[in-house]
């Protein structure tokens, strides 16, 4: 490292030139690595990855890879899925070449958020593949793009600091037998298989899909482990919803915090939505609620859970809601509710 490198670092810092400062830090780290001090080089890159002001170098010079912030939201997982994620982290830490994982499951089951959690716990940068640049309408161009993408991935400096995410990988590797353009889809899938086989073992690659049964089986066999996210019981989903509500309520004042009623509302759904949909329903019911009415979000949530239907008093009673709870959810007085139920 030259004296001018240190002077440039100081200069860029005081001039507020973050991009130049970041690139200079990377240059310094590479210099140390080139001269045999890889431990110090990795320490510098580690400091950069922990700072909010730095993003991976690829953000500015790659059209295929987009850096992602690890601003994860609370999302409790069933013990079976949580155990599998811990197993992935253990496998990565063992450094024995197990580095390709496939997360499968219905939309909203937490696949992408779990990738962010894994990256955060492993203290790695997350780079997401941008399919809008990867998939091209021109014949043969997608194959070339895949080759360029993996060349970039395998050329990353300090490869062990990254996780690469192919979110909704079915965009490029659906079953070749079921596609209209068999020849082109076959070439794309074959190209992906070839590149996957040549992936540097220091790179952690995670893919997600909602269409596991439609994926080319040759592709799924290339992954070291397949994690099924469709393992939520109704109790799991209600627990997830409770954690989401508790977290969101920190942003709202003058709202009712009746968790017993809240859980009954979630249980009233048939079927209970997946965690991603639950988050949206809860968030929007709170956001749209009348700030002068503590129970307005509960009514809105019930209507959302019931797909827009207004339930009758008798129906609410059959679902297990008490007279007091029915009063809250309908605005009808307890005496009127009791009278209607007795007459019914």
Against a cut of 0.85, is the pTM above it?
no
Give me the count of residues in the chain.
Answer: 344
Q: Band the pLDDT of 21: cuts 50, 70, 90.
A: confident
Question: What order do you get walking across the sheet with 125-129 strand by strand?
Answer: 65-68, 125-129, 162-166, 204-209, 100-104, 225-228
Lowest pLDDT segment from 1-15, 255-269, 277-291: 1-15
Q: Does residue 126 sit in helix, strand or coil?
A: strand
Higher per-residue confidence, 173 vs 61: 173
* In the chain, ranges of CATH 3.40.50.300 domains: 65-228
Please enumerate in sequence order all residues whose Cβ is within 8 A of that of 298, keeping only pairs 6 or more positions apart, or say none: 256, 258, 261, 262, 265, 285, 328, 329
Rounded-to-integer distance, Cα 25 and Cα 8, Å: 10
Give yes or no for a contact between 161 and 124, defined as CB atoms under 8 angstroms apart. yes
What does the pLDDT read at residue 25? 81
What does the pLDDT read at residue 304? 95
What does the pLDDT read at residue 61? 65
Query: The tokens of 115 are what?
Result: 């990738």
CATH of 65-228, one of 3.40.50.300, 3.40.50.620, 3.30.300.210, 2.40.50.140: 3.40.50.300
pLDDT of 53-73, one tens digit each? 344 444 446 788 988 888 767
Q: Band the pLDDT of 1: cuts 50, 70, 90.
A: low
Rounded-to-integer distance, Cα 264 and Cα 272, Å: 11
């Amino acid at each position: 490292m030259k004296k001018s490198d240190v002077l440039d670092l100081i200069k860029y810092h005081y001039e507020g030139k973050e991009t130049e400062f970041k690139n200079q830090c990377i240059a310094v780290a590479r210099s140390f690595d080139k001269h045999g001090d890889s431990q110090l080089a990795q320490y510098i890159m580690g400091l950069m990855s922990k700072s909010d002001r730095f993003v991976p170098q690829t953000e500015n010079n790659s059209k295929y890879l987009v850096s992602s912030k690890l601003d994860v939201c609370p999302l409790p997982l069933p013990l079976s899925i949580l155990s599998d994620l811990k197993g992935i982290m253990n496998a990565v830490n063992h450094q024995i070449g197990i580095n390709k994982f496939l997360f499968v499951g219905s939309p909203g089951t937490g696949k992408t958020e779990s990738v962010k959690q894994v990256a955060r716990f492993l203290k790695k940068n997350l780079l997401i593949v941008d399919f809008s640049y990867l998939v091209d309408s021109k014949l043969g161009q997608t194959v070339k793009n895949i080759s360029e993408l993996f060349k970039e991935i395998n050329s990353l400096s300090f490869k062990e600091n990254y996780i690469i995410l192919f979110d909704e990988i079915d965009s490029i590797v659906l079953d070749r037998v079921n596609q209209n353009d068999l020849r082109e889809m076959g070439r794309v899938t074959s190209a992906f298989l070839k590149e996957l086989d040549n992936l540097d073992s220091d790179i952690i690659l995670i893919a997600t899909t909602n269409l596991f049964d439609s994926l080319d089986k040759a592709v799924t066999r290339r992954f070291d482990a397949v994690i099924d996210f469709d393992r939520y019981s109704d109790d799991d989903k209600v627990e997830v919803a409770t954690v989401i509500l508790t977290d969101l309520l920190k942003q709202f004042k003058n709202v009712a915090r009746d968790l017993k009623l809240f859980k009954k509302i979630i249980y009233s759904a048939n079927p209970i939505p997946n965690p991603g949909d639950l988050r949206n329903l809860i968030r929007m019911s709170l956001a749209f609620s009348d700030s002068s009415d503590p129970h307005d979000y509960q009514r809105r949530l019930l209507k959302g859970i019931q797909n827009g239907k207004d339930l009758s008093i008798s129906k609410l009673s059959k679902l297990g809601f008490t007279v007091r709870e029915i009063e809250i959810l309908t605005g009808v007085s307890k005496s009127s509710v009791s009278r209607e139920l007795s007459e019914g």
